[in-house]
Structure 1
Amino acid sequence: MYEFHGWFRLSQTTEESDTGQLDAIIDELNELVAGLGFPTNVSAEVTVLNGEYYLFLHGVANRRRDEAVRMRQVLQFVARRLPGSYGLLYEKDEDMPVPPGPNAFRAHVIARGEIIERLACRCRSRVASRRRFRGFSAWSGTHHRSSLHTQGPP
């Protein structure tokens, strides 16, 4: 399984989101996304929230294919043409080589016109042992005074 999920706030500069050309660049981005011909298992959408442009990218496939290359083209466009943009995209691939390894996440961070790849946590859920939360019962949500206070009242 291969998947990616991300969001980016789109801006021309770090000081101002629009220096007069933002709408034209957004049109270019929409043309790029349409021209890449993403399959139905990928959603690439530019939307306006509270007067600001955002890009949302999501994809799920049985295995890594052209979606990864096309997604990378979109990220490179955003970093190059909209250097004030910021956001992140998580990518997970069962067959990803080490590092980060199978089923781990890679984060693609865009900030100030750069794309930085980082290894992300494995994000596996773990059942915490009761010893970790000493004095707290995970089952009832109550604190046990005897284990929280080793001395008498202040």
Structure 2
Amino acid sequence: MFEWHGWATIVASSEAEEDAEADGRQRGVEARVAQAVASAKGRGVVNETADLRHANGSLHLWLAGSHNHRAEAVIDLFRSVARIAPGSYGVMYVFDDDLTDTWERWVMRRGSVNSEVDASLSPHVGMVEDPYNR
């Protein structure tokens, strides 16, 4: 099972800017992120949540789902958003029981995405689920 849950706040730049030019850049970045999300839905992120919504003037991305096997397209989308909108920040939790018994926490900040082992949910068996008994 490959399972993921994530969110990101979409921000064009990490600089504190409040002018018409910055607003234009933000809207352009939001349009590019929307294109990336729409494109990903056709390349492996299907029948799952990949949603963009505005809340209180900010654009937010939500990702969630599960497949029988690892779906790199989901992680690729998260990385794409970081490249397109380097001021964005967020986290995505991934569990792939074919590879490991730990949850990965993919952290988006300052234009990059880095993987960490999440100690709150890992190891999966023991922390989240009981061992399988035959």
Is 1:92 the counterpart of 2:130? The answer is no
Is the 8 Å Cα contact of residues 11 and 85 (structure 1) preserved in structure 2?
yes
Is the 8 Å Cα contact of residues 37 and 50 (structure 2) preserved in structure 1?
yes
Q: How many residue pairs are counted as aligned between the two chains?
A: 117
Matching residue within 23, 44, 69 for 2:50 = 44
- Tell me how large the CA RMSD over aligned residues is: 2.0
Alignment of 1:92-131 (within 5 A): 92-96=95-99, 101-102=100-101, 104-121=102-119, 122=122, 124-125=127-128
Higher RCO (Cα < 8 Å, 6 or more apart): 2
Give the gaps of 5 or more residues in structure 2: 130-134
Is the 8 Å Cα contact of residues 11 and 17 (structure 1) preserved in structure 2?
no
Give the gaps of 5 or more residues in structure 1: 127-154
Describe the shift of the 1:74–1:3 C-alpha distance in structure 2 as closer, same or farther (beyond 3 A): same
Partner SS, residue 26 of structure 1: helix
Name the stretch that deviates more: 71-80 or 46-55: 71-80
Match of residue 78 from structure 2: 75
Partner SS, residue 31 of structure 2: helix
1-structure distance, mates of 2:30, 2:84? 10
Describe the shift of the 1:27–1:21 C-alpha distance in structure 2 as closer, same or farther (beyond 3 A): same
Is the 8 Å Cα contact of residues 4 and 90 (structure 1) preserved in structure 2?
yes
Name the stretch that deviates more: 21-30 or 113-122: 21-30
Percent of aligned pairs with the same amino acid: 28
Is 1:14 the counterpart of 2:17? The answer is no
Deviating 4+ runs (over 6 angstroms): none
Is 1:28 the counterpart of 2:26? The answer is no
Partner SS, residue 13 of structure 1: coil
What is the TM-score normalised by the length of structure 1?
Answer: 0.68
Is 1:57 the counterpart of 2:63? The answer is yes
Cα displacement string for residues 83-137 of structure 1 (whole angstroms, at most 9, x for unaligned residues): 11111000001111xxxx22x20010011111111011216159xxxxxxxxxxx
1:24 Cα shift?
A: 2.1
What is the TM-score normalised by the length of structure 2?
Answer: 0.77
1:74 Cα shift?
A: 1.4
Is the 8 Å Cα contact of residues 105 and 118 (structure 2) preserved in structure 1?
yes
2-structure distance, mates of 1:84, 1:90? 20
